[in-house]
Structure 1
Amino acid sequence: MAPPLWKGEQKINRIFVPLLLAMALANLLVHLQALGLADTASRGTDVMLYLIILLLIILSGRVMPFFTRAVIPGHAPKQNPVVDKVTLIALGALILELLLLPTPWLTALLTLTLAVTQILRLFGWYHRGIWKLPILWVLYTGFFWIIAGLLLMALAQFDLFPANLARHALTLGGIGITTFGMMARVSLGHTGRPIDPAPAISLGFVLLNIAAAARVFGPLLLAEKYNLWIHLSGGLWVISFLLFSVVYLPKLSRPRVDGKAG
C-alpha cells in the first residue's frame, strides 16, 4: 500500500504510511506479551486505541466539513489550522508518552488538550441543520463520543472516573458510531445511490448511541447490574449491525445502479 499512497496526488494521504506502521508496532507489543517475551500488551492496546482515534480525527476533519457544506446551503464550516496542528502534536505526544513512559498527569493534560481542540473544531463545523439529516448527525454524535471519551480519560488518570468506562466511550461510542456512519454513507455513494439512509439504518444510528450511553454510564447508575448493561449494550450493537447487513447486503452484492464501474 505504501507506494501508491506515497506517489498519489493527495500528499495528505502519505500520513497513512507511518500510521499503519505504528499500528503494526502496537500489534507487535501485544503479541510479544502473548509469547511471554515482554510485559507490553497494555501499552500496545493503549497505543493502538489512540492511533485509531488519530485516524478518525484526521478523516473527520476532511469529511465532516465537506459533508456539512454540501448539504446545508449557505453554511461555510470553519477550519482553524492552528487548532488542527495542536491536535496532531498533542495526539503524537500522547501516543509516544503511552508507548515509552506512561505518566498519569501527562496523559490527563494531553487528553484534556485534545478534548478542548476537538470541541473547537466541532463548533467550527456545526450547524443546527444537521439534526434533520441522520447521515450527518450520526457523524457528529460519533465525534461527540470521542470528545467525551477524551474528557473522561483525563478524569480517569486521577481516579475520578473508571478508566474502563472511559475507554468504552472512545471505542464503542467514538470508533463504533463514526465507523457505522461512514459505512452507511459510502455504501450508498459507492453504489450510485442517493445519500439518504433507510429508516432502519437511522434506527441503527439511534441504537448505537443508546448502546454507548448504557455501556459508559449505566454501571455508574446501577453498578450491581453491570452484566445487564453489558448485555444491553452488546445486544443493541448486534441489532444495529444486523440492520446494516439486511439493508446493505443486497445493495453491495449487485452492480451500481448508475451503471458506472465499481
Structure 2
Amino acid sequence: MALLQIDGSVTEENNTKRHHPAFLNAAFRPFFLLGAAFGALSIPAWALSFLGLIKFDFYGGAYAWHLHEMLFGFFPAIMVGFLLTAVQTWTKRKCIEGWWLAALVLIWLLGRITLAFQPAFFRDYIIVIDLLFLPACAFFLARPILQAKMWRNLFFVPLLLVMAMLNAIFHLSLSNDSIIDITTISHAMVILAALVMSIMGGRVFPMFTANGTKTPRVNSIGWLEQLSILSIVIVFITTLTQNFVPNTLSIAVLFVAGISNLYRALRWRLWVTFQVPLVWSLHLSYLAMSLGFILLAFAKMHLIPSISIGFHSITVGGMGLMILSMISRVSLGHTGRLIKANAWVTCSLLALSLAAVDRVTGSLLGIEYSIVIASSALLWSIGFLIFVFAYIRILFSENMSR
C-alpha cells in the first residue's frame, strides 16, 4: 500500500502480518498522541500552580519542571516521532516498531511520571530514567542511517546527543552548583529546537506550499539557506557562553538570525496559503520563530520588557504551532488518509495561533501577567486536546488504502 512520507515521497508499506497493535506500527503513532496529550495537560498544570490554585510537588519546583518538561519532555517526544518515522523513508530500512517501540515509549512515559509525581519507588532513579530516553533514540536513529550510509541525515544523531547533554547539565544544575544555570540551559535548548525547525522547514515547507496551493515551488537561495541555519548555530553558542560574549555581538547575531529566517519565510509566500490550514499554520509558525529572534535582540537592547517575550514567540508560536500542524499533517499522510484539515483541525490550529498572539502581545501591551498566563495556557491546551480527540482513532487504526 502506498503511503505519503514526511518528506513528501511515497513508499510501499510492508503488508506482512504483525504481532503487535497498529498503534505500535510506527514511532509517530504513540509519540504524537502521548506527546500532544502531555502538552495539553502539563501547561495548564503549571499555570494553575503558578496562579496558586493548586499545590504540586514538581521535580525541582514548578518553574524548573515547566522549563524541563516543555523542552526535554514534550518537544523531544514529537521530534523523535518524526525522525524515527522519517528515517525509514530516507534509508528504506525498518527503524523501530512493535515491542521495542513500546519499550522506548515506556522510558519516555516513566520520565514524565517520575518528574511530575516523584513516586517513592523511583525517587533514587528519577534522573537516570529521564536521561535514558534521548541516547536510546539516537541509537535507534543511527542504526539504519549507518547501514544505508545516508550521511546527509546523520547530523540528527549528534543533535539528539547534544540535547541529551543539555538535559544532563540541567539536572546537574538543580542538584549542584554549576557554571551554567537552568535558565541558560533552557534558553540554549530553545535555540536548538529553533535550529531543528529551521532545517526541517527549509526541507519541506516550499514543497508543502507548492503541493497544497497548486502553485510553483519557490527555489532556494544557497547563501540564504546557509546563513539562516548557521546564524542560529552561532546564537546557540553565544547563548551558552553569554557571560563571556559581548552583548553587542549577541544582539548582532540575533538580528542576523531573525532577519535571514524572516526573509526566507516571506519568500515561501504565506499569502498563497490562506485557504489551506495545514500550510498557513506552518508559515505562521516559522514567522513566529523568526520574529522571536528579533524580539530577543530588542530585549537585550532594553526596548521591550523581557527576553521571555522573544523566547515564548519561538516556543508557543514557533515550536507549538509547527508541531501541531506537522503532527496533524503527518498523521493523516502516514495512515493513508487525505491530507486535508477538517473543521476540528482548523479550530485547533486557530487556538494555538491565538495562544501565541496572546502570550507575546499580552506581555508587550502590559496586560496583567496572571491573565496572560491563564488565557494562553487555556488556548494552548484546547489546541492540543482537539488533536488528541480528533486523531486518537486514526492513530490506533490500521492504515487506509489509497
**Short-chain TM bin:** over 0.9
User: Deviation of residue 194 (structure 1)?
Assistant: 0.2
**In the alignment, is the contact (CA less than 8 A) between 2:198 and 2:229 conserved in 1?**
no
Instruction: Tell me which residue corresponds to 2:357.
Output: 213
Distance in 1, matches of 2:303 and 2:279, equals: 33
User: Deviation of residue 77 (structure 1)?
Assistant: 1.0
Match for 1:184 among 299, 305, 328? 328
Distance in 1, matches of 2:320 and 2:357, equals: 12
Distance in 2, matches of 1:123 and 1:228, equals: 32
Read off the aligned partner of 2:291 and give its amino acid letter: A
Read off the aligned partner of 1:196 and give its amino acid letter: K
Higher relative contact order (CA 8 A, sep 6+): 2
**Percent of aligned pairs with the same amino acid:** 28
Instruction: Tell me which residue corresponds to 2:250.
Output: 107
**In the alignment, is the contact (CA less than 8 A) between 2:321 and 2:349 conserved in 1?**
yes
Structure 2 residue matching 1:132: 3-state secondary structure? coil
Distance in 2, matches of 1:160 and 1:64, equals: 32
* Change in 2 beyond 3 A, CA 1:120/1:229: same
User: Deviation of residue 37 (structure 1)?
Assistant: 3.5
Instruction: Tell me which residue corresponds to 1:63.
Output: 204
In the alignment of these two chains, the number of paired residues is 258
User: Deviation of residue 117 (structure 1)?
Assistant: 1.1
**In the alignment, is the contact (CA less than 8 A) between 2:348 and 2:387 conserved in 1?**
yes
* Change in 2 beyond 3 A, CA 1:61/1:10: farther
Instruction: Tell me which residue corresponds to 2:396.
Output: 253
Distance in 2, matches of 1:36 and 1:217, equals: 36
**In the alignment, is the contact (CA less than 8 A) between 1:78 and 1:125 conserved in 2?**
no
- Identify the structure with the greater helix proportion: 1
Deviations 1:29-86 (A, max 9, x none): 2111111141412321121111110001000001101111222334121211111111
After TM superposition, the structure 1 = structure 2 runs for residues 92-241 of structure 1, keeping only pairs within 5 Å, are 92-102=233-243, 103=245, 104-126=247-269, 128-161=271-304, 162-223=306-367, 225-241=368-384
**In the alignment, is the contact (CA less than 8 A) between 1:143 and 1:174 conserved in 2?**
yes
**In the alignment, is the contact (CA less than 8 A) between 2:231 and 2:256 conserved in 1?**
yes
Runs of 4+ in 1 over 6 A off after TM superposition: none
Distance in 2, matches of 1:159 and 1:217, equals: 17
* 1:14 and 2:158 correspond: no
**In the alignment, is the contact (CA less than 8 A) between 1:44 and 1:99 conserved in 2?**
yes
- Structure 1 range deviating more: 37-46 or 238-247: 37-46
**In the alignment, is the contact (CA less than 8 A) between 1:28 and 1:44 conserved in 2?**
no
Instruction: Tell me which residue corresponds to 2:57.
Output: none
Q: Give ranges in structure 1 of 5+ residues lacking alignment.
A: none
Instruction: Tell me which residue corresponds to 1:5.
Output: 145
Instruction: Tell me which residue corresponds to 1:49.
Output: 190
Read off the aligned partner of 1:152 and give its amino acid letter: L
**In the alignment, is the contact (CA less than 8 A) between 1:65 and 1:125 conserved in 2?**
yes
**In the alignment, is the contact (CA less than 8 A) between 1:79 and 1:125 conserved in 2?**
no
**In the alignment, is the contact (CA less than 8 A) between 1:64 and 1:139 conserved in 2?**
yes
- Structure 1 range deviating more: 212-221 or 35-44: 35-44
Q: Give ranges in structure 2 of 5+ residues lacking alignment.
A: 1-140
Distance in 1, matches of 2:351 and 2:384, equals: 10
State the TM-score, normalizing by the size of structure 1: 0.93
Distance in 1, matches of 2:172 and 2:336, equals: 45
Root mean square deviation, CA, Å: 1.7
User: Deviation of residue 10 (structure 1)?
Assistant: 4.3
Instruction: Tell me which residue corresponds to 1:31.
Output: 171
State the TM-score, normalizing by the size of structure 2: 0.61
